[in-house]
Amino acid sequence: MKKILFYCIAFLAIQSTVAQEKYIDSLYKVNPVKTEIYSTKDGEDLIIDLYQPGNSNSEKTPLIIFMHGGGFAGGSPKNPQEVKFAKLAAAKGYSVGLISYRLMRKGSKTGFGCDFDAAGKIETFQFAAEDFMDAARFMTKNADKFNIDPETIIVGGSSAGAEAVLNAVYNPDLMFEDSEKYSDIKFSALISLAGAIVDVRYLKKENTIPGIFFHGTDDNLVPYATAPHHYCESSKPGYIILDGSKTIVEKLDKLNKSYLFYTFQDARHEISGMPFEYLPEVFQFLKQVVFNQNKIQSTVFK
């Protein structure tokens, strides 16, 4: 009887192992973080902290590049939430790069609110978008060194980082003097935590990739739909209209592109935090859309 019980337990253990999925389940130990300098600008070294799965049989891994938030004045790739996310994703088989970028509003008395002029806000978006794309280029040029698949890059950001990523991907004509400069870099999907873009009208089928969006309906800083940034009055220097997650998702729907949209009723800008509770659904979406090439259009109300 004991021998039968042993074989039953062994069989169930084998079945459990077989049922585990790469990119969904935690299958790997995570290697120690590697810090690389992807660019030096204005005397500042811009870094990427790279978290990678160990014992992945030398197979090239998909890459996630993530930009922290902080109002373009603070934050770091060392933020505990982002580090936790990077380790979780690396355990599932992803390489994850957490990047620093130029914090153009650091030490500023006006910050990034209504007293900072609209032209300056656009320029700040442009600097951050350029840094993001330079980090992506660094990783693609060193794909063999880091054992990553340059054809499968997922990008994401929180708050200011999400604005930089969204504008770089969806509004390149507004971010770069030469929008063809980074045309050789292709992305597979993006993740936006309380982000927005300058103008959804520039979002076209050829530069649209699937997206995962988290946003609160009462976000007091970054508009949930289409509204002034920080809800500034039109008389203020920082008055600028941005298109938030709801407006972006509506455009993705019209373009017949995949999306997963978590909309949180009455929530404010705290939704820019890492959504650990919903990460299983995030990784399921990526597996189905990026790797299995399925189409998903889903809005989840919370």
End-to-end CA distance of the chain: 50
Give the three-state DSSP class for 196: strand
Q: Quick: pLDDT tens for 68-100.
A: 999 999 999 999 999 999 999 999 999 999 999
Q: Identity (one letter) of the amino acid at 150?
A: P
Rounded Cα distance between 48 and 100, Å, is 7
| pLDDT (average), residues 207-225 | 97
pLDDT of residue 3: 46
C-alpha span between 247 and 76 (Å, rounded): 29
Determine phi and psi for 152, rounding to 5 degrees: -130, 85
Residues in CB range of 187: below 8 A, 6 or more apart: 136, 153, 154, 155, 169, 209
DSSP 8-state class, residue 206? G
Q: Record the tokens describing residue 27, joined without a space.
A: 């299958």
Phi and psi torsions of 37, nearest 5°: -90, 115
Longest dimension (CA), the chain: 82
Break the chain into its structural domains and give their ranges. Answer: 28-301
Higher pLDDT, 56 or 122: 122
Q: What is the pTM of this model?
A: 0.92
Report the alpha-carbon distance of residue 132 to residue 124 in Å, rounded: 12
Distance between CA atoms of residues 219 and 80, nearest Å: 23
Compute CA 243 distance to the chain's CA centroid, rounded to the nearest angstrom. 17
If one counts every other C-beta atom within 10 angstroms of the C-beta of residue 146, the result is 20
**Is the pLDDT higher at 230 or at 55?**
230
Report CA-CA distances (Å) from 58 to 128, 220, 300: 33, 46, 37
Q: Is the pLDDT of residue 16 over 90?
A: no
What are the tens digits of pLDDT across the range 155-168? Answer: 999 999 999 999 99
Q: What is the pLDDT of residue 56?
A: 59
**Do residues 246 and 301 touch, judged by C-beta distance below 8 A?**
no
- Give the pLDDT band of residue 245 (cuts 50, 70, 90): very high
Give the residue-averaged pLDDT of 44-58: 89
Q: What is the second-level CATH architecture of the domain 28-301?
A: 3-Layer(aba) Sandwich (3.40)
Does the pLDDT at position 179 exceed 90? no
Confidence of residue 9 (pLDDT cuts 50, 70, 90): very low
